[in-house]
């Protein structure tokens, strides 16, 4: 029987993935899981990326109707994109294109490269975007993907000192979200013990910290704050616990200095971060390293360039910004059988630095980590701001509770206004107003609530409530 083009391109793509999977099962040194990749020269990284691109473009064309239509519409052939420099020919893909595809081709869309017969043969797990805006985008991943995820995540977690003598409490409901599952399988590859914390109350997890002495907790930034407060409420001091490291992901974390300082002070532990997205970086795309925090307090996050290509683009034009300028993250995923993606607009603001890090790694760093997703932009009477700016301002006022809420509404005169609701034992309204005005250049109303009034965050924090007249 003749081998079809789709099968031929799949074989070539999987062979290319395997070629560049170095140190697959154990670390190559005490400092780096894969020394030859983590410390590769810029020329070596670009050569790896280009070789993977030359294999993945025909694979996408033959195995994804979504990509085949897009190639044809643009008048491009897979051979037109063979190197990193060729990527500029391919306009960025945003989530709206995938939503449209999922709507027209339910339930999975056609952007996947895992056909039904392979899903039945070697399917691993289905994940979904949150679906907070529009149609949820569903992604089916194979057992081959699972192994590449675990390897990538192990490299990241090794970089911030997780070792086999650690134990990790994973504070997650284990739903169709990539973060916790990726951590779980990465730790398994590292031979690190895990304590699954799904389906539990905050108090139950706090008691587990006290009883089983995990050295690492894993969850969102908001939940780590919540869990620490629950420990205090039941008479336990998180700073005196066994926890030495907090692995956070799923929402903005290390890039908000006042939140980072609050969380590290509460737990007496350091904070490390995973960065990625369901669509194009389901494994760890960005990660902390031993030199993440500069002497001036600025945090930087590495991006794993041998398995992904990261770019920054202008939010208005989607053109690549000059090195050192701020832009939105775009990811080309080169580490998946089921979901390689070309130039997907992840959409977080940051600035890149390609100089070798003090930790010895050569992969690009996001300076200041990530300071707000474009989708979260608030436009209030022409003044544009991001929730992280409000968070930084609120956290700067001493004694403010961990929970806060931003309410956007329209007053009787038809004017859109913003109110910030915070918890404090005293009237600190003027201080909060001043902090918000300094950070966001706009005046806001402030409502002071008694401590414990606002709902406690159990997973991802949703702090902005938009009630404006449409």
Summarised one tens digit per residue, pLDDT across range 409-456 is: 888 777 788 889 998 988 888 888 888 888 887 788 888 998 888 887
Q: Helix, strand, or coil here: 145?
A: helix
The CATH-assigned architecture of domain 1-371 is 3-Layer(aba) Sandwich (3.40)
- Position 134 scores a pLDDT of 57
- Position 80 scores a pLDDT of 97
2 pLDDT band (50/70/90 cuts)? very low
Q: Helix, strand, or coil here: 86?
A: helix
Give the contacts of 373 (CB within 8 A, at least 6 positions apart). Answer: 347, 348, 349, 386
Least reliable range by pLDDT among 72-86, 209-223, 239-253: 239-253
pTM across the whole model: 0.83
Least reliable range by pLDDT among 16-30, 111-125, 175-189: 175-189
- Position 265 scores a pLDDT of 94
1 pLDDT band (50/70/90 cuts)? very low
Summarised one tens digit per residue, pLDDT across range 28-78 is: 999 999 999 999 999 999 999 999 999 999 999 999 999 999 999 999 999
Q: What is the CA 47 to chain-centroid distance, rounded?
A: 26
- Position 460 scores a pLDDT of 66
User: Contact, 39 vs 23, CB < 8 A?
Assistant: no
- Position 255 scores a pLDDT of 72
- Position 267 scores a pLDDT of 97
Give the contacts of 466 (CB within 8 A, at least 6 positions apart). Answer: 408
Q: Concatenated DSSP letters for 9-73? A: HHHHHHHHHHHT--S-SS-SSSS-SSHHHHT--HHHHHHHHHHHHHHHHHHHHHH-HHHHHHHHH
Is 220 a residue whose pLDDT tops 70?
yes
Tokens, residue 338: 């089921």
Dihedral class, residue 250 (left if φ above 0, else alpha if ψ from -120 to 50, else beta): left
Least reliable range by pLDDT among 166-175, 316-325, 432-441: 432-441
DSSP at 2: P
Q: ∠279-281-282 over CA atoms, to 5°?
A: 80
Q: Helix, strand, or coil here: 363?
A: coil
Distance CA 224, CA 227 (A): 5
Higher pLDDT, 333 or 417: 333
- Position 279 scores a pLDDT of 84
Could you count the other beta carbons within 10 Å of the beta carbon of residue 120?
8
Distance CA 66, CA 69 (A): 5
Distance CA 127, CA 174 (A): 11
Which residues on neighbouring strands pair with residue 302, listed in sequence order? 287, 365
188 pLDDT band (50/70/90 cuts)? very high
323 exposure class (CB count in 10 Å sphere: 0-12, 13-18, 19+) = exposed
Domain boundaries, the chain: 1-371, 378-466
Domain 378-466 sits in CATH 3.40.190.10: no
Summarised one tens digit per residue, pLDDT across range 79-95 is: 999 999 999 999 999 98
Report the chain's C-alpha Rg in angstroms. 23
SS3 sequence, 282-319?
EEEEEECCCCCECCCCCEEEEECCCCEEEEEECCCCCC
DSSP at 264: H
Give the contacts of 116 (CB within 8 A, at least 6 positions apart). Answer: none
User: Contact, 168 vs 187, CB < 8 A?
Assistant: yes
Mean pLDDT of the chain: 89
Which residues on neighbouring strands pair with residue 138, listed in sequence order? 128
- Position 465 scores a pLDDT of 85
Q: ∠400-404-408 over CA atoms, to 5°?
A: 135
Summarised one tens digit per residue, pLDDT across range 367-396 is: 987 766 666 777 777 677 778 778 888 888
Tokens, residue 232: 């205090």
Is 132 a residue whose pLDDT tops 60?
no
Note if the bond before 107 is cis, omega within 30 degrees. Answer: yes
Percent of all residues in the chain with a pLDDT value above 70, rounded to a whole number: 95
Give the contacts of 445 (CB within 8 A, at least 6 positions apart). Answer: 417, 418, 419, 420
- Position 296 scores a pLDDT of 79
Q: Which of 120-124, 134-138, 347-351 has the highest mean pLDDT?
A: 120-124
- Position 470 scores a pLDDT of 67
131 pLDDT band (50/70/90 cuts)? very low
Higher pLDDT, 302 or 404: 302
């Amino acid at each position: 029987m003749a081998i079809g083009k789709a099968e031929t391109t799949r074989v070539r793509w999987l062979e290319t993935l395997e070629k560049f999977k170095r140190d697959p099962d154990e670390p190559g040194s005490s400092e780096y899981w894969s020394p030859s990749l983590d410390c590769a020269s810029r020329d070596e990284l670009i050569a790896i990326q280009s070789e993977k691109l030359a294999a993945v473009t025909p694979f996408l064309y033959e195995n994804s109707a979504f990509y085949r239509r897009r190639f044809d519409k643009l008048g491009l052939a897979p051979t037109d994109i063979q190197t990193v420099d060729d990527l500029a020919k391919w306009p960025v893909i945003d989530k709206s294109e995938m939503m449209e595809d999922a709507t027209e081709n339910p339930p999975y869309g056609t952007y996947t490269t895992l056909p039904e017969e392979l899903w039945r043969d070697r399917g691993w797990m289905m994940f979904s975007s949150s679906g907070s805006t529009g149609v949820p985008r569903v992604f089916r991943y194979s057992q081959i993907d699972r192994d590449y995820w675990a390897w990538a995540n192990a490299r990241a977690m090794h970089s911030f000192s997780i070792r086999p003598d650690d134990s990790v409490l994973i504070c997650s409901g284990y739903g169709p979200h990539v973060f916790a599952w990726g951590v779980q399988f990465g730790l398994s590859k590292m031979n690190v013990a895990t304590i699954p914390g799904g389906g539990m109350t905050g108090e139950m997890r706090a008691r587990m910290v006290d009883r089983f002495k995990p050295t690492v907790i894993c969850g969102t930034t908001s939940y780590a704050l919540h869990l620490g407060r629950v420990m205090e409420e039941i008479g336990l001091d998180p700073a005196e616990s066994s926890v030495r490291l907090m692995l956070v992901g799923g929402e903005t974390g290390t890039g908000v200095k006042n939140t980072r300082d609050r969380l590290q002070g509460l737990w007496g532990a350091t904070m490390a971060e995973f960065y990625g997205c369901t669509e194009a970086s389901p494994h760890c795309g960005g990660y902390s390293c031993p030199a993440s925090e500069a002497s001036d307090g600025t945090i930087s996050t590495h991006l794993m360039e041998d398995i992904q290509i990261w770019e920054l683009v202008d939010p208005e034009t989607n053109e690549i910004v000059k090195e050192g300028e701020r832009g939105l993250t775009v990811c080309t995923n080169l580490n998946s059988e089921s979901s390689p993606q070309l130039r997907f607009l992840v959409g977080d603001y940051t600035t890149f630095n390609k100089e070798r890090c003090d930790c010895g790694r050569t992969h690009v760093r996001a300076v200041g980590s990530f300071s707000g997703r474009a989708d979260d932009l608030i436009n209030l009477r022409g003044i544009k701001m991001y929730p992280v700016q409000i968070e930084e301002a609120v956290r700067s006022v001493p004694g403010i509770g961990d929970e806060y809420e931003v309410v956007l509404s329209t007053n009787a005169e038809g004017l859109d206004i913003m109110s910030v609701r915070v918890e404090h034992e005293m009237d600190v309204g003027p201080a909060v107003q001043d902090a918000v005005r300094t950070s966001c250049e706009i005046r806001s109303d402030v409502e002071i609530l008694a401590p414990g009034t606002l709902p406690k965050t159990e997973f991802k924090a949703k702090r902005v409530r938009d009630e404006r007249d449409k």
